[in-house]
Amino acid sequence: MQEKIIGILGGMGPEATAALFQKIIKTTPAKKDQDHLRIIIDSNPKIPERTSAILGKGKSPLKQLQETLRNLERAGAEIIAIPCNTAHYYYNELQASANVPIINMISETAVYINQNFPNIKKIGLLATAGTVKSEIYQKASIGAEVITPDGCEQEIIMNAIYGEQGVKAGFTQEKPRNAILEVAKALIKRGAEAIIVGCTEISLVLSQGDLPVPLIDSLQVLVAAVIREGSKVD
């Protein structure tokens, strides 16, 4: 009777992968080393950019996602977590090629919203252009209407994530944070009663209490799912 071995298919980006691991450690109810889950991490930043592929401007990451998945399976992973919202565009293909379950962060976030905020009518989405275009959150059976930034606002988000002083370049303080908060406040003005943090890079710069409405952090939802599924014993 053993807990499941968790595999983290990471590197998209590396800091978000590290944040997931750190959050799992901090959230697990452990009193000693042996109380923690066994976790195998393959942080592969060489996986092609997901948003570029979805927008038709770059190479598909699917092959390298599948190869990294197989690495984790060979290493002994029994459950896979992927700390990248946009990569979940390829979830069905990845799960079909996998021999172990893959936690669906998007579905988990939808369930969390429906259970904890059943009465909200509109919820804002902060995410990459790839996630927004793919409509993976809009298709996730969320009870509320999902509203997204307009074109100019989405450019602000993309620059905050990918720009020279963006989160992926290692900047997690004032400039990208303030830009993302500006767009979040615009969504609230348009009726959003909560905000989905639908990009793990954005999870690095926003915290609960930064806005007058609840933040639904997909990365934290994934943490809870990893601990729940990893703690199950056969």
Query: 84, 140, 179, 215: which is the annotated catalytic residue?
Result: 84
34 vs 17: CA distance, rounded Å: 22
Q: Of residues 199, 202, 204, 205, which has the active-site annotation?
A: 199
End-to-end CA distance of the chain: 6
Residues 39 and 24: beta-carbon distance below 8 Å: yes
Residue 152 appears among annotated catalytic residues? no
- Whole-angstrom distance, CA of residue 150 vs CA of residue 147: 9
- Rounded CA separation 9/145 (Å): 30
199 given a catalytic annotation: yes
Closest CA to 109 of 130, 89, 90, 136: 136
Sheet of strand 6-10: strand arrangement:
39-43, 6-10, 79-81
Do 193 and 121 touch, CB atoms closer than 8 A?
yes
Nearest to 126 by CA among 217, 40, 233, 31: 217
Kindly state the tokens that stand for 88: 């979940």
- Residues with catalytic annotation? 84, 199
